[in-house]
């Protein structure tokens, strides 16, 4: 199965990198600058689940896409969706599935209109990931994120009276 990962930032870099590490047929659709960074430094993942450096991961730029892919894993920012669609559209064939990992839900309607509802799958990921200037993607900053979250919660509590939930439900059928 050929997978095109749109973006090699924190989310695309982590999930695409892990699939590449497992021996899957992964190609990252990236801009020229990111392609150069990946070619020189590799894709570096720092994670409690294990660190890895993937030397010179396969990349393609939008104007060089020649073949269709089985899956497009879409990991761009929501504000970049229109440009991302233009860039990966040549990779979408009649059997291609598109899995978006974007915040919110509005992108689903846009993708459905562009490619057909039958090709667009719902996507969700739960990960704290950061892209550092040193071309790293991963979950290694958990303690830093937790500290930040605690500070943020105290601000909301002090200014709005908000308190954090004691648990988070995975579905409406699962009570807290």
Q: Are residues 175 and 101 in the same domain?
A: no
The model's pLDDT over 2-42, given as tens digits with 9 standing for 90+, comes to 999 998 888 899 999 999 999 999 999 999 999 999 999 99
Cα distance between residue 88 and residue 123, in whole Å: 17
Cα distance between residue 130 and residue 139, in whole Å: 7
* Residue numbers of the domain that contains 159: 142-176
Q: Are residues 113 and 135 in the same domain?
A: yes
Number of domains in the chain: 2
Contact between residue 71 and residue 91 where contact means Cβ atoms under 8 Å apart: no
The model's pLDDT over 89-122, given as tens digits with 9 standing for 90+, comes to 999 999 999 999 887 777 889 999 999 999 998 8
Say how many C-beta atoms besides its own lie within 10 A of residue 158's C-beta: 9
Lowest-confidence segment of 91-95, 126-130, 132-136 by average pLDDT: 132-136
CA dihedral (85, 89, 41, 129) positive or negative: positive
Global pTM value: 0.75
């Amino acid at each position: 199965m050929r997978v095109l990962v749109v973006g090699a930032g924190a989310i695309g870099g982590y999930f695409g990198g892990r699939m590449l590490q497992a021996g899957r047929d992964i190609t990252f659709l990236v801009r020229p600058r990111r392609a150069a960074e990946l070619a020189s430094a590799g894709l570096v993942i720092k994670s409690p689940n294990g660190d890895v450096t993937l030397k010179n991961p396969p990349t393609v730029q939008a104007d060089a896409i020649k073949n269709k892919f089985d899956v497009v894993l879409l990991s761009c920012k929501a504000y970049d969706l229109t440009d991302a669609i233009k860039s990966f559209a040549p990779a979408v064939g009649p059997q291609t599935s598109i899995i978006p990992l974007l915040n919110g839900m509005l992108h689903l309607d846009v993708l459905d209109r562009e490619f057909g509802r039958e090709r667009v799958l719902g996507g969700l990921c739960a990960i704290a990931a950061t892209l550092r200037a040193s071309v790293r993607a991963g979950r290694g900053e958990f303690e830093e994120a937790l500290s930040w979250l605690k500070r943020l919660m105290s601000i909301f509590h002090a200014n709005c009276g908000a308190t954090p939930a004691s648990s988070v439900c995975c579905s409406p059928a699962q009570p807290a």
